[in-house]
Structure 1
Amino acid sequence: MEETGNIRLEVNISPDKLEARVTLIVPDEGRGGPILITEQDVRDALRAKNVTHGILDSVISELVGNPAKFANVPVTVACGTPPVPGIDGKIEYPFLTLLHDDKRPKELDDGRVDYYSITNIPNVAKGQLLAAKTPPTPGTPGTAVTGEPIAPKAGREVMIKPGKNVVMNQERTLLYAAIDGQVSFTENDKVNVFPVFEVNGDVDFRVGNIDFVGTVVIRGNVPTGFRIKASGDIRVLGSVEGAELEAGGSIEIRSGIVAQDKGHVVAGCNVKTSYIQNANVTAGNQVLVSQSIMFSQVRAGKQIICNGAKGFIIGGVLQAGEKIAARVIGNASATPTVLEVGVKPELRQELSTITKELQNVYENLRKTDQGLGVLSQLLQVAGELPPEKRTMQIKLTNTRLVLEKEVKKLEARKKEIEQELEGDVPAAVEVYNLMYPGIKLVFGKLVRFIKQEFSRTRFIVLEGEITTSTLI
């Protein structure tokens, strides 16, 4: 702070150190007279606060030339150079282009169309590149007005997650298929290649239940009572009734599900279908429906999206970690419909459990190292250990190896969960056309009953309340 005649120069630096402001503080008794200030006065005041970078000479000249204009008004006289954040790492999946191959159904000789013959199966060959990782960039440092470097936010690291029948290069930046088969994403975005089992028609008693370590393709329908289990994906080109479908990867049902409250459809990744009626559906990631969800129990780790030409949800209970969206929700009869969205409780619970387990393992590791340290001191003093102490040393050494392996496993899983939770977005319910009364919205512990119609509305939680905003 500098005194100059009848005024005082005050310099303030912003918390992020990217801006310095000068205020000419003029006392009441000095406002009637001339304000005398020189460029040197301003520069001395800046120097006293160590402001050396990004000084705006033109602003200082204007300040000195017409000080009365700036009396008691803060003016920016120096701007730092903001850091440039790093670019997040990314993973590209070249095989996904196979999903966009020609999906037109086969035309038979008599002119009819065979919809069950659509061969939209992304097969890959042994040795084919499946994933390529681009590492994150560290970013570019900035410079504070005081000349200090400002560290940038580094880009976020990403990891290729290998599953079954795949191999990685030594740098763990490229992933290749180890066998011929179909690519499938399973839990935590692991990439797998599975062999394919096909049924050329409906599942019936000649086919029976299916339990296959790979991907299953049904080129017909799956009637009530049958069970299909696959470690990869399940693709049904017809419809599914009250059957049991369980896939480690995704489930795609070309027609839809009419289950009559029987059976279930469970996928580790996504469930994609045209409609869901009186069914029980669970997906680790997304449930994607083009037409309707009616009177069903539907759960998704992230999103439930029903946004086709009709895209309506009526009745039942829908639960999603991040978002539920549809064109129309409810009906004019106010049919009770429950929509629940919010954080991923199972992930947060797992993170809490892993943190406690790590604390226990760290403590056991500390005790093991303590024991090994004592034995090492005995060895240095005596030159050798008695048999019982030698046996103890071997046991402790083996215990340490087991504990180290457990620590690596727990820390890796903890990092995965933290990265997934870091990307959490505020939970939302979105209706693109119309929401009718009779809907119960649940955001964690918050509940709101819809008693009027809403159109083109997003529901989110702000300041502890379920609030609305208009969708553009």
Structure 2
Amino acid sequence: MEGIGKYRLEVKVTADKLEAGILLRVDEEDLDALLLREEDIYKELHKQRVTFGILDNVVKDLCALPRKYANAQATIAVGIQPVPGKDGFIEYPYLETVKDEEGPKELEDGRVDYYNVTAIPNVAKGQLLARRIPADQGKPGTAVTGEPIAPKAGKEAIIKPGKNVVHNAERTMIYAAIDGQVSFTDQDKMNVFPVFEVNGDVDFGVGNIDFVGTVVIRGNVLNGFRVKASGDIRVLGSVEGAELHADGSIEIKSGIVAQDKGSIVAGQNIRTSFIQNANVTAGNQVIVSQSIMFSSVRAGKQIICKGAKGIIIGGVLQAGEKIAARVFGNTSATPTVLEVGVKPELRQELVQIQKELQIVYENLRKTDQGLNVMNQILQTSGELPADKRMLQIKLTNTRLVLEKECKTLEARKKDVEAELKGDSPAAIEASHVMYPGIKMTFGKLVHFIKHEYARTRFVVMDGEVTTATLI
């Protein structure tokens, strides 16, 4: 570099092009005689295509105080970070009316009705249920080389219509096609089901219930009875050793005392105050406000027991993502098994889909081979014999069926892969204390708790169970 004194300027741009550094290489004996000119610095920057976000104060400082910057890299230009887009989401306007209706109601004579405190989210035919809000594309940034940096676009929300609903032409809104109750079923599909209400207990006077819709029970479900619903099940009382099965969610206000009888199964969520000696399975979440005692509880994603008591003692709990409670175990070291991080049903489904896709691909290949033969005969002779024409029609129809099956399988494969890929690290969280006697399983990794832990989160890092203190 020309000028007074011997020196060399090196400009380096970071890989993301959001920052440029400058390094003044100079020998100690040349420092006192060194004279840097601003134009030389700008010339070197432009030579390296750094044209944006140049820090003029650093350029001036470098010229005035070269000793300060000698043989040490300094930031000379800073770009503008792109602003990532916000994810799209689904609004549910019908829920606003439900919120307004919750809580005890005052009767005409001034008394308060404490028996009907649960609002059933009933909707009317034609009512707007869901509205898709599009993702934001974000704001571009600018590199130090002057180039625009594309932002990461937000992820679009998917609106999934189920039964008894209709969507608009743009598929951005869902409306109720009948009067009934909203229920979410497999893969978060939104449905409206008719509602069947029981104004007391499910006992010998009512019998077992199997309803294509949502069931609301304003009393208890007694030992030995069965309630099945294609929508949700709402129980304002308690559930004993009964069988409840809902494709949607199950809410039990007073709790479950099963005495190791019956089972509670929901395609989506199960919410209750306590679970005791019960067998409970939810496709998504199990949310308990008080306690889970000596029960078998499974959840596709999370088991949460973090109310004022929030205690889990005994039994076996399995969740795909997380098990969280205020207290695990007791001072007597009661054996309790916690298993997280495994979604066997999803992985098994993915293997099955891949096998089915291979069969479909092979059948498509054979079908296309047959159609190609028909086309060659047609091009050679100008027409097809009657039997070959029938075969061509049959092969064409077969191909349409296979294409439709292929698209369905590929779409489901993409959903399953996204769900498995999007898994956050499986965790077990004790927000107050975890006592000895707990057996943890993270996939195939087993860890035993031999002393007390306070406010601790357990996760697997680099093949080992590690802990972090919860704030």
Q: 1:359 to 1:3 in 2, by over 3 A?
A: farther
Aligned-residue offset at 1:109: 10
Corresponding residue number in structure 2 for 1:222: 221
Corresponding residue number in structure 2 for 1:447: 446
Q: 1:214 to 1:405 in 2, by over 3 A?
A: same
Partner SS for 1:156: coil
Corresponding residue number in structure 1 for 2:17: 17
Aligned-residue offset at 1:142: 2.2
Partner SS for 2:183: strand
CA distance in 1, matches of 2:449, 2:144: 53
**TM-score, structure 1 length as denominator?**
0.94
One-letter identity of the residue aligned with 1:465: E
Aligned-residue offset at 1:284: 0.7
CA distance in 1, matches of 2:378, 2:112: 83
Corresponding residue number in structure 2 for 1:88: 87
Map 1:185-264 → 2, pairs under 5 A: 185-264=184-263
Structure 2 residue 322 is the aligned partner of structure 1 residue 331: no
Corresponding residue number in structure 2 for 1:469: 468
Corresponding residue number in structure 1 for 2:161: 162
Corresponding residue number in structure 2 for 1:42: 41
Q: 1:392 to 1:259 in 2, by over 3 A?
A: same
CA distance in 1, matches of 2:388, 2:146: 60
CA distance in 2, matches of 1:387, 1:309: 79
Q: Out of 239-248 and 351-360, give the one that drifted further.
A: 351-360
One-letter identity of the residue aligned with 1:340: E
Corresponding residue number in structure 1 for 2:26: 26
- Is contact 2:118-2:236 (8 Å) kept? no
* Identity fraction in percent: 71
**TM-score, structure 2 length as denominator?**
0.94
Aligned-residue offset at 1:146: 2.1
Aligned-residue offset at 1:129: 0.5
CA distance in 2, matches of 1:8, 1:267: 71
Q: 1:68 to 1:120 in 2, by over 3 A?
A: same
Q: Out of 298-307 and 81-90, give the one that drifted further.
A: 81-90
Corresponding residue number in structure 1 for 2:410: 411
CA distance in 1, matches of 2:369, 2:37: 69
Corresponding residue number in structure 2 for 1:174: 173
Deviation by residue 1:428-450 (Cα, 9 ceiling, x = unmatched):
11112211111111111222111
Partner SS for 2:315: strand
Q: 1:348 to 1:72 in 2, by over 3 A?
A: farther
Corresponding residue number in structure 2 for 1:124: 123
Q: Out of 122-131 and 156-165, give the one that drifted further.
A: 156-165
Aligned-residue offset at 1:185: 0.9
CA distance in 2, matches of 1:451, 1:112: 54
Aligned-residue offset at 1:34: 2.2
Q: Out of 97-106 and 75-84, give the one that drifted further.
A: 97-106
Deviation by residue 1:257-290 (Cα, 9 ceiling, x = unmatched):
1111110000001111111000000011111111
Aligned-residue offset at 1:308: 1.4
One-letter identity of the residue aligned with 1:331: N
Aligned-residue offset at 1:407: 1.9
- Is contact 1:259-1:279 (8 Å) kept? yes
Structure 2 residue 56 is the aligned partner of structure 1 residue 57: yes
CA distance in 2, matches of 1:343, 1:222: 32
Q: Out of 93-102 and 200-209, give the one that drifted further.
A: 93-102
Count of paired positions: 470
CA distance in 1, matches of 2:293, 2:251: 18
Deviation by residue 1:151-206 (Cα, 9 ceiling, x = unmatched):
22111021111111000111100000000001111121111100111111111122
Aligned-residue offset at 1:33: 4.0
Structure 2 residue 295 is the aligned partner of structure 1 residue 296: yes
CA distance in 1, matches of 2:403, 2:305: 46
Aligned-residue offset at 1:370: 4.0
Q: 1:84 to 1:300 in 2, by over 3 A?
A: same
Aligned-residue offset at 1:339: 1.0
One-letter identity of the residue aligned with 1:121: I
Q: 1:139 to 1:370 in 2, by over 3 A?
A: farther
Pairwise CA RMSD: 2.2
- Is contact 1:3-1:9 (8 Å) kept? no
Q: 1:422 to 1:158 in 2, by over 3 A?
A: farther
Q: 1:382 to 1:143 in 2, by over 3 A?
A: farther
CA distance in 1, matches of 2:50, 2:109: 84
- Is contact 2:240-2:257 (8 Å) kept? yes
Q: Out of 95-104 and 146-155, give the one that drifted further.
A: 95-104
Unaligned runs of 5+ in 2: none
Q: 1:295 to 1:3 in 2, by over 3 A?
A: farther
One-letter identity of the residue aligned with 1:394: I
- Is contact 1:116-1:220 (8 Å) kept? no
Aligned-residue offset at 1:110: 11
One-letter identity of the residue aligned with 1:8: R
- Is contact 1:252-1:273 (8 Å) kept? yes
One-letter identity of the residue aligned with 1:228: V
CA distance in 1, matches of 2:370, 2:51: 56
Partner SS for 1:17: coil
